[in-house]
């Protein structure tokens, strides 16, 4: 099974539009340094900005991934 | 499921028509239904960029060319609260939102901390309070001092006041010293 870090890094590399943004670079630093806490903090800040709570975000993400991968 | 970008296109008016179709439908910052908070936009975006579901999230090593905006993302807003997070580009560029009364412009971008950073530009010659100009204040003060001096100066006197106190004092002292020396010599 593919590592989540590798998955995230490849996803970010495939989207240079997001990768080259300040937030994308910060995320890439978190991934490369395997810094879980910083990554989680960044994700929490984004969710706070969007006004979504963590549980809802996880549910929506899992639904989206299920739909994408036809699971 | 209806694409949220259809409603987004109508909402943005002319902005969507600029640039090519791919640009107009990318990015999660086009609004979905206004009240809805969802990350569907991001997911749909990924699906559109990677139509093969097995290749979702762009796992392939192929990189897409950097997209250049031929328009400025943004719109007219009533106030700052009218702007939702989804409208701010996540690629590091600014979304520009003009207030309807044309008094204020908000430029918003995502920072590296996961929050949206805002620059606010306000109209200068609108309903702005007069600022205190320090040079004008000094000039006014000088003028007031000049007027006050003019009031205290006696009528008919010369412009340059005579102040020979020191000179007279010096002469007087010198005269006294000379006299004392003469007395000693005698």
Please list the ranges in chain B whose pLDDT falls under 50.
Answer: 1-56, 58
Q: Does B56 contact A68 at a Cβ distance shorter than 8 Å?
A: yes
> Which residue has better confidence, B164 or A7?
A7
Residues of chain B with a CB closer than 8 angstroms to some CB in chain A: 26, 37-40, 43, 46-47, 49-50, 53-54, 56-64, 66-67, 85-86, 90-92, 110-116
Report the distance separating Cα B86 and Cα A57, nearest Å.
14
- For the segment A50-60, the average pLDDT, to the nearest whole number, is 92
Interface predicted TM-score of the whole assembly (ipTM), two decimals: 0.84
Element (H, E) at B109: strand B104-110
Q: For residue A54, is pLDDT > 50? A: yes
**pLDDT for res B185:** 63
**pLDDT for res B142:** 92
**pLDDT for res A40:** 92
β-bridge partners, B74: B96
Chain B residues close to A15, C-beta within 8 Å: 49, 58, 64
Contacts of B130 (CB under 8 A, 6+ apart): none
Per-residue pLDDT of A13-51, as tens digits, reads 998 888 889 999 999 999 999 999 999 999 999 999 999
Per-residue pLDDT of B109-125, as tens digits, reads 999 999 999 999 999 87
**pLDDT for res A4:** 81
Beta carbons within 10 angstroms of residue A17's beta carbon: 19
**B-proximal residues of A, 4-63, CB under 8 Å:** 7, 10-11, 13-18, 20-26, 41-46, 48-52, 57, 60-61
Chain B residues close to A11, C-beta within 8 Å: 57-59
Q: Does B90 contact A23 at a Cβ distance shorter than 8 Å?
A: yes
């Amino acid at each position: 099974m593919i590592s989540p870090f590798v998955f995230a890094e490849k996803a970010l590399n495939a989207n240079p539009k997001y990768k080259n943004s300040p937030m994308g670079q910060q995320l890439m630093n978190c991934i490369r340094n395997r810094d879980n806490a910083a990554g989680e903090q960044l994700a929490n800040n984004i969710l706070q900005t969007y006004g979504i709570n963590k549980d809802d975000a996880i549910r929506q993400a899992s639904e989206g991934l299920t739909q994408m991968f036809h699971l | 499921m209806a694409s949220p970008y259809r409603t987004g296109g109508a909402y943005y008016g002319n902005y969507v028509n600029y640039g090519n179709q791919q640009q107009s439908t990318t990015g999660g910052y086009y609004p979905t239904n206004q009240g809805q908070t969802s990350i569907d936009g991001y997911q749909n975006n990924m699906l559109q960029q990677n139509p093969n579901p097995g290749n979702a999230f762009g796992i392939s090593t192929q990189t897409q060319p950097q997209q250049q905006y031929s328009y400025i993302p943004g719109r007219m807003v009533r106030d700052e609260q009218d702007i939702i997070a989804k409208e701010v580009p996540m690629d590091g560029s600014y979304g520009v939102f003009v207030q309807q009364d044309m008094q204020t412009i908000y430029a918003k971008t995502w920072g590296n901390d996961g929050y949206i950073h805002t620059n606010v530009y306000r109209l200068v010659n609108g309903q702005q309070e007069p600022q205190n100009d320090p040079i004008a204040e000094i000039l006014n003060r000088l003028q007031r001092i000049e007027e006050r001096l003019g009031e205290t100066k006696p009528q008919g006197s010369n412009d340059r006041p005579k102040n020979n106190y020191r000179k007279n004092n010096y002469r007087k002292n010198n005269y006294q010293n000379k006299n004392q020396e003469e007395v000693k010599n005698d």
